Amino acid sequence: MAGGMGGAELGPSSSGKKKPLDTTINLVPFIDLMAVTISFLIMTAVWTQIGRLQVSSSGGPSDNPDDNDKTIPLTLLITDKELKLTAGTSTFDPIPVIRDAKGRIDLTRLQMRIKEVRTNLPEQAAITLQPEDNVRYEDLVRIIDECIGSGLPNVSVAAAIG
């Protein structure tokens, strides 16, 4: 890359002498440009990647009346012991909260339940979460993330009643 670049030699010129085509690239301005670019990029670099999870306040079925027969009110009650999913009038068995070594909730069973609901109701896109007061923010975020990842993008959060 740096240093002398191999030059191609063309045929003999009219004078009969071979004209040397080897040229030396001046690397100093290139290195200067690189140094300035690196400094600028390091100064403006964002090292922590931050995103957002959008939640709404009111949940329930879609506002579109045509969708009412295709969707049902899907509610997930979150306590520190269990997760209780309710789809319309039917209630699934509560999922006990199991935590790993880092204290994170295992959401595999919830994921399977949501997939089950989505298989029966492919148009379903909304879910209402009802966390209790003592639920940790991290657990709530993980559950919202799981719901969005499982195909329920319209997540709304409401306070648990009772």
Partner 1 sequence: MAIQVPGKRFGKRLQRSRVFGKGKLNAKRVMTADLLITPMVDMFVIIVLFLIANFSATGDVLNITKDIRLPEAVNVKDIELVPVVMISNEQVLVSGTVIGRVEDLSREDYLNIPALEEKLRDMKKQYEDLHALANEESGKFKGDVNIQGDKDIQYKILKRVMYSCMTAGYNNINFATQTASAPKTGEQQASVRGL
Long-range contacts, 4-10 (Cβ 8 Å, 24+): none
The correct pick among 8, 10, 42, 161 for binding partner 1 (CB under 8 A) is 42
Q: Does 55 bind partner 1 (CB under 8 A)?
A: yes
Q: Is residue 2 within the footprint of partner 1 (CB under 8 A)?
A: yes
Interface region with partner 1, contact rule CB under 8 A, candidates 16-24, 65-73, 83-91, 125-133: 125-133
- CA-to-CA distance for 107 and 114, rounded, in angstroms? 11
Decide: is 120 part of the binding site for partner 1 (CB under 8 A): no
Torsion angle in degrees (nearest 10) through CA of 137, 139, 140, 144: 140
Closest separation in Å from C-beta 106 to partner 1: 12
Binding flag, residue 131, partner 1 (CB under 8 A): yes
- Round to whole Å and give the CA distance between 152 and 110: 13
Distance CA 113, CA 82 (A): 14
Q: Which residues bind partner 1 (CB under 8 A)?
A: 1-3, 27, 30-31, 34-35, 37-38, 41-42, 44-57, 131-138, 140-142, 144-145, 148-149, 157, 159
